[in-house]
Structure 1
Amino acid sequence: MERWYTYILYSTKINKYYVGVTEDLNWRLERHNMGWGKYTKSGIPWEIVYYETYNTKSEALKREREIKNKKSRKYIETLIQNAGGRPE
């Protein structure tokens, strides 16, 4: 069974969040912290502060778009807070 994740990273260095989708959270975080991503390169180190699990890539992508379309730091922080300040 496939597992896909919509995840939120946080960088204390630049005080920003990043929302993405992956099949492998640990591998993806490692890549972000190695500077492989154009947007995330300047924020190293990143940490996973929230994630949701989905059965299909399309569901995970849909959720990523929903979060990004809110264009709201407050919305992201509410998601994290409602999860108890840690990944689900």
Structure 2
Amino acid sequence: MDIFYVYAIKSDVDQRIYVGFSSNVLKRLAEHNAGKTKSTKGFRPWQLIYSEPIVSRIAAREKEKYLKSGIGKEFLKSL
């Protein structure tokens, strides 16, 4: 069974929050900071502010959607 991680990263440049999911959070964070992701490239460096293990890809996608919603973003901003 694969474990996925829903994660949130915050830009040191303008404090924006990016939410995603991956099976390897630290590798994914390194990719964001290396400029390999088009949508986050211009806002480097990024810091990991939230990570949660999820047991299925479908559940991880649902949690990602929640964290991208208004109430989810408010939760992340409160961290």
TM-score, reference length from structure 1 = 0.80
Q: What is the match of residue 16 of structure 1?
A: 16
In 1, Cα distance between equivalents of 2:14 and 2:38: 14
In 2, Cα distance between equivalents of 1:11 and 1:21: 17
In 2, Cα distance between equivalents of 1:43 and 1:72: 21
Matched positions, count: 79
The superposition leaves residues 16-65 of structure 1 with CA deviations (integer Å, 9 ceiling, x where unpaired) of 11000100011100100111111110111111111111011111100000
Q: What is the match of residue 32 of structure 1?
A: 32
Higher relative contact order (CA 8 A, sep 6+): 2
Any idea what SS the aligned residue of 1:38 has? coil
Cα RMSD of the aligned pairs, angstroms, is 1.5
Unaligned runs of 5+ in 1: 81-88
Q: Which runs of 4+ in 1 moved over 4 A?
A: none
- Farther-moved stretch of structure 1 (38-47 vs 64-73): 64-73
TM-score, reference length from structure 2 = 0.89
